Each structure stands twice: as C-alpha cells, then as structure tokens.
Chains A and B, each alone.
Chain A
Amino acid sequence: MIKFSNVSLIYPNSTTTVLENLNLEIPEGELVLVIGPTGSGKSSLLRLINGLVPHHTGGILAGDVSVDGHSTQLVKPGGMAHLIGIVGQNPANGFVADTVEEELAFGMETLNLPNDVMRKRVEEVLDLLSLASLRDRSIATLSGGEQQRVAIGSALVAHPKVLVLDEPTSALDPIAAEEVLSILYRLVHDLSLTVVIAEHKLERVIQFADRIVHINGAGVAQVGTPEEVLMHSPIAPPIVHLARALGLTEIGVSVREMRRMTEDIRGKEYVEKVATPTQIGETIISVRDLSVTYDGKPALNSVSATISSNEIVAIMGRNGAGKSSLLKSLAGISELRSGSVDVAGSNPQNLKGKERRTSIGFIPQEPSDLLYGQNVQTECDQADKDNQIPSGTTAKILNQLVPGVSATTHPRDLSEGQRLGLALSIVLSSNPAVLILDEPTRGLDYQAKKELTRILIEFARATGKCVVIATHDVELVAELATRVMFLADGDIVADGTTLNVLLSSPAFAPQVSKVMSPQPWLKVSDVVAAITAHQ
C-alpha cells in the first residue's frame, strides 16, 4: 500500500539528513507505529506519505514515496485526499468549520461528492466514532478526546485507504486515549485500513501495533515486529524494561502476554516493604475552601489541601476536571470565587516581579509562552539579569538539564524536550520555593522524561521546596510523584500516596502494576528491589 524506495530527505538550511536511504513497504491493513527520539524525523516520515513534505515544507527528497501506486512526486497532497487521511499533531489547528457535522462534510465537499453520498457517509462516520450525540456541537466546545475523534472522522469520510496520525494520544487522558486507539484498532481489523501512527507514549499503543519503524537520530530506520525492534531498542515502554530487568528471554508487548510470562514471579510470597513514612516538612502551600469558576461554570468546588516541603504532588484527572484551574489558582493568576490560597507565606495573587520569581516557578502547557528572545543566549542573559545572578548561571543550569543546546539557536527551532529544558532552567535560575508544571510531557520522549524526572526529584529534595505537576502520564507519575491528587468535576476525589491512588484505579494504573497485580509494585525498580530482597 505504502512504499518508500531509497528515500532520503534533507531540509533547506540544514546540514543533516532527516532520513537516509529508507526502504519500507507497508501492506494493506497494517497498523504501523513510528518511534524515535524527538526531532528524529517521525513527523517528516508521516508527512512524506501524502506529499506534504516536500510539497508544503520545502526540502530535497531523493528516492520515491508511493501510495497505492501513486507517486507523491507526481501528485500533490490535494490529489491524494481521497486516498490518504492525515490527522496532525494538534487537530484543533486543522479544523475548518464551526460544527462537527460541517467539519465532517468539508472534505467531501471539496472532493465534489454528490449530496446523497455525503449524507450517508456522515451518518456512517458519526456512528462509527460514536459522535452522533455531538453532531450539532460547536467544535471549540469539545474536549480533547472528542476533537481527536472528529479529526479522525473528517479524515475517514473520504473513505481513504491510509490513515496517518501524528501523536494522536499525547494530549489525552488515559481513558480518552484508550477510546481513540480502540477505534483505530477496529478500523484496521474491520475495514482493513492501513494506519500509520507516530507516538512517544509506547505503553499506550504498543499492543495494537503490527509493525514498528524505529528511526534513530542519524536518519537510519529499522523496521520489524514490535518484539524484534523493542528487544534491543533504547526506546521501550516500561513493560519491556520489566522483561529485560527480569531477564526474560522473550518480551511481551501486552499486559496479558507479560502476565503469562511472569506468573511464577508474581506468585511468590514477598516481604512487604515497610513503607518509610515520608518526612513531612513544613507546610508550603495551603488551599482552603477554594472555589473557582471558568467561563461561568464551576471549575473547582470548595477544594482544600495542604502541600508540604519535599513533596512531589501529581494532579491527575480527566480533561476538564479542574487541574489547570487548580494550578492557576496556586500560581495566583485566576480569580478566586471564594476561599484562600497561601504559597510560602503569601497570597500568590499579590506577588510581583522578583518576589514572584523566588516563590513560584510556573511552566505553562506551552513552555514557549515564557520565551521571547531571539536565541537561547538572550533568554539566558535575560534570566540572569532579572534575578541579579552572575551572568552565565542560567546557561550553566541549561547545560546540566539538556547538554549540547547551541546558544545561537532560536527557541522555536529547539526540540520539545530542549524547549522545556530552556523554560525550566529560566524558572529554576530564580530558585523558586514551589515549582508548578502543567502537562510537561507532551511530545517528550522517554529519554527527556527520564531527565525531567531526575531534575524534579533533585529539586524537591532541597529544604523548603515542593513540586506540583498536572499530567495524564501515569508512567511519569509512578516514577516521580510522592503523592497523587485525583480531581473529578472540580472535587478532589482521591488524595494519598502514589501507590495507594494509582493501584486503586485500573484505568490509571501503570503498566508494571497491571502486570504484577496483586503485588503492590508501580515501576520496574520496585519489582527488582522486591525480588532482590526476597533472595
């Protein structure tokens, strides 16, 4: 169905090739997963399929990409519209119409399909993706998962043979992600659609993949079954790391397979690790009866909580549960309807300038909002000047966080991980008491996430510091957090140690705990520690 023959790609003003001599054939009805570190050219590979690269982006393409016998060198992306549906990294940026129904119809209107065909197909797709109840809704009011489904639907109405998705679950909570992926799985099996996905969160997609294309940074690609590729790949989901740590000869890619392989390990009696009571330091954040409204609707209902020093608190919950509202109130940028917030002894709403920087460090969902310099160097200098610290301090922090960032690069040209690192080092340069992060792992690969985990744990270890992080990423929470607050509909419905909260909810349980249940282990290191203690 899709054929890459000797494909090499280089972008203008760049000295490194994105892809080099890639040969790849994807047969009909396969779900192919593209993996690789950030900036390795996954998105380019996806956009090569319908010719957006190089027709839309520029760049030199050697070799040939053809889909169902049509070469992208001869046919422009528009001419492939009936053959390939493509869903971008941020589907909200690609919507053209106001309502769900009109959005679904748009692609067919441009293809000039007759009216009766359009009516039939819209109904089909509404049913297929369970969107029927949303048909008249304005797209702007939909949740992230619903928007993703609409984007998939509007690609499907043209009856394409190939569906291409760039990080379809990165902005979704685990449940919404599951929904989207199971729909894709069904499309592959029912309609024999060919699906190509790029995704960082392998733990979510790996069980659905028929084959994996692994691109490493140097533009070389390896193609194979998940077991083949993941056996030795540095990029691997926790489940594979578990198999390696246990010294299994085979690896399983689904929880079911792994449970079969680890039956004897699970079955043994283990000394229950006596939970060392976390030393609770002095209270840093205290929230009392906090209510917040967002767009006239209640976002938080009378929430109370205290966070002490050395804690790393993960705030979890569905999209729209009030996570961002809580973080914004902690940072003092949302209007409180009632209640009070106290951070490091002052009301965050009154903080200004240097005082604000030394008490609260905030990394917004888009770290680039903090950046306005023309290159990395000016950003670092600005932070040094703002905080009256010796020049070069911020650059030094940056170099520790993400080594090898060129000082003359424009922030936009950095990879997601590097950009987050830059924003983080600017925030850390003022040495705040509280570090707040809103969804930091969007678009981060495992390596960058590991780095982030290390930095945050180190930060929280110092006296009088704490970290609050809102995230959908259960694996990150398992590795990082000491405590989890679970929000639903503006209420804190669960608040406790990471172990207790994550184990009590199957949807939010990390892979290792699903495999090892009923043993209370969240991460690979827990398993290894328990087994060594046993021997």
Chain B
Amino acid sequence: MKKLSLHPLTWWIWAIGLAIAVIRFDSTVFTMCCVGAVAVVVFIQRENAPWGKSFNWTLKVSAWILFIRTIIGILIGVPIPGTTLFSVPIIPLPSWMPGIRIGGTVTLERLSSAVTEGILICAIIVIFGAAASLTSPHRLLRVLPVYIYEFGISIVIATSVLPQLVTSVSRIRQAQKLRGQSLRGFASWRRVAIPLLEESLARSLDLAAAMDSRGYGVSKKRSRYRPIKWRTADSVVVFTALIVLGLS
C-alpha cells in the first residue's frame, strides 16, 4: 500500500481522538480492537526510519507494563469478593495502614479488573506510541509555533542522537565481544555504557556546534521552506478518528 504523506499533526490529532474514544467507551473488546487497528495502520504506514522502528519498543514496553500492573493489581489493593482462583499469603501491615493489604485471596473479579485497567493504560500508550512512530519528529518540529521553538535544539539533539545510540550500542557490544569480553551481566553493560556515554556527549556537542554555526536561534523569526499544507487525506484520517469518537 502506498504510504500517505500527511501533515505531521494529523496522526497526533487522530491519536488524541482515539484515546478519548477508548477512555469514554471503557470496553476491553473495543480497546483491543482499537489497539489492533492502530497496530495495523502503523505497520502499513510507518517509514523505514529510526522513529518508525520505535513502535516495536512501544509494544514491548506496554506488554511489560500490562504484566507488572496486573501483578501489582492482584497483590495490592482492596479485595473484591467473587469466585476464588487461588490465594497468596497475606503480608501483615501495621495498623495505621487500614484498608490496604498485600496478598490474600485472588478472585476472578479482582484479576479481571486488574487486567482491564492494565489494558486501558497500555492502549493509551500504544496509541500515542503509534503517533510518535508515524510522524517524523523533525517535521513535527517545523509546524510547531515559533515560541516553543526554543525547545527545538534539545528535541533535535534528542531525536537525532538517540536513534544513533541504538546503533552505537550494538557496534560497541560487537567490539567488546571481539575483545573476548563476555556480554552477560552487569559488568558488560558498564563496559558498553562508558564508551556510549562519551560518544553521545561528543555527538551532542558536535550537533550543537553545527546548529550554532549555522545561525540557529540568532533570529527570533524563522522563515519556512516548503510550508507543510493540510490536505484532504489529513482531513480523512482525522475524520475516521472523529467517527470512532462519535460512536463511543
């Protein structure tokens, strides 16, 4: 399928629309459908760029969040009566912490409420992660108003240097492997972290120097080469989100 060339704000508006719909509808099935649809859109539409690859990380991170959230949800909190699944020993808490308990009987209701809440949180993360991976941060920066442009320099550095860090990590780990060092354990990460930190600092300084010598920030006004226009395709995408929002 052909990749749409959209206004950088389009996917963000779309994401906000979907996120509101998901929260308003508050149904696990609907949320899952939404996440599925978002994932399909990302896999079709994302570009082969560092931010495009970030969606995989979003999925991994939200799976972890769901897992941890569920564990905490069933272990800590207010007991909900219902079908007992299994029980864990209760950890006694001091008397000044009434109403909270750790452990105890895990009921089906308690489990399902923990999972439902977790899914909702993860869905929001996935939806905004999708917007981030579908939009080039550099193009987004160009349509943002001038007065928040001061953040620009740090955003440009972060978005240019961070993706390069991912490649640097694998390069440095490779080199360490070649030195015959083990790649397991805490010490191996320390061996990667030090060259990595030094490199990213050097890179950031280089970039800041380059932006500085090209006159960045000298003039408060900044002209636009090829202003980005809002097109029909953008309206269509935003409209789909509005329909979903209307249905909820």
Contacts and interface: CB of A to CB of B under 8 A. Distances in A.
Interface of A: 47, 50, 52, 56, 76-82, 84, 86, 88, 90, 93-98, 101-102, 105-115, 118-119, 122, 138, 140, 154-155, 158, 328, 331, 333, 352-357, 360, 362, 364, 366, 368-372, 386, 412, 426-427, 430
Nearest to A295: B48
Contacts of B202: 93
B95 interface: no
Contact of B139 (A98, A112, A356): A98
A119 B225 contact: yes
Contact of B225 (A47, A115, A155, A357): A115
B135 to A, nearest CB: 11
A178 to B, nearest CB: 25
A357 B179 contact: yes
Nearest to B190: A372
Interface of B: 49-50, 136, 138-139, 156, 160, 171-172, 174-182, 190-192, 194-195, 198-199, 202-203, 205-219, 221-227
A372 B194 CA distance: 6
A80 B226 CA distance: 25
A78 B178 contact: no
Contacts of B205: 56
A140 B138 CA distance: 14
Contacts of B138: 96-98, 102
Contact of B203 (A80, A93, A102, A114): A93
Contacts of B194: 372
6 closest Cβ contacts across the A-B interface? A81-B215, A94-B210, A105-B225, A369-B175, A93-B206, A357-B180
A181 B196 CA distance: 33
A88 B207 CA distance: 10
A360 B209 CA distance: 39
15 contacts: A56-B208, A77-B209, A81-B218, A88-B206, A94-B207, A98-B138, A110-B222, A111-B219, A140-B49, A140-B50, A333-B174, A356-B180, A369-B172, A370-B175, A370-B176
B225 A369 contact: no
A332 B202 CA distance: 30
B178 A107 contact: no
A356 B224 CA distance: 55
Nearest to B218: A78
A113 B213 contact: no
A460 to B, nearest CB: 20
Main secondary structure of the interface of A (DSSP, over half): helix
A119, A355, A366, A386: residue with the most chain B Cβ atoms closer than 10 Å: A366
A372 B187 CA distance: 11
Contacts of A115: 223-225, 227
Contacts of B178: 331, 333, 356, 360, 362, 364, 370
B70 to A, nearest CB: 36
Contacts of B160: 95-96
A78 B208 CA distance: 11
A79 B138 CA distance: 24
A105, A372, A426: residue with the most chain B Cβ atoms closer than 10 Å: A372
Contacts of B212: 52, 56, 76-78
B216 A110 contact: yes
A386 B182 CA distance: 11
Contacts of A369: 171-172, 174-176, 195
A357 B179 CA distance: 6
Contacts of B218: 76, 78-79, 81, 110-111
A360 to B, nearest CB: 7
A110 B179 contact: no
A81 B217 CA distance: 11
Given A97-B138, A360-B178, A78 B213 contact: yes
A362 B179 CA distance: 7
A97 B49 CA distance: 12
Nearest to B211: A96
B225 A56 contact: no
Given A96-B138, A111-B219, A426-B179, 18 more contacts: A50-B213, A76-B218, A78-B214, A80-B213, A88-B210, A90-B206, A102-B138, A107-B215, A110-B217, A112-B223, A115-B225, A122-B225, A138-B49, A331-B178, A333-B178, A357-B180, A369-B174, A386-B181
Contacts of A370: 175-176, 178-179
A158 B214 contact: yes
A98 B138 CA distance: 7
B213 A84 contact: yes
Nearest to B182: A353
A364 B175 contact: yes
Contact of A93 (B177, B190, B210, B222): B210
Contacts of A113: 223
Nearest to B201: A412
A412 B172 CA distance: 15
A352 B184 CA distance: 13
A203 B160 CA distance: 35
B225 A118 contact: yes
B50, B174, B213, B218: residue with the most chain A Cβ atoms closer than 10 Å: B213
B213 A86 contact: yes
B217 to A, nearest CB: 6
A56 B191 contact: no
Contacts of A84: 213
A334 to B, nearest CB: 9
B222 A96 contact: no
Contacts of B225: 101-102, 105, 108-109, 115, 118-119, 122
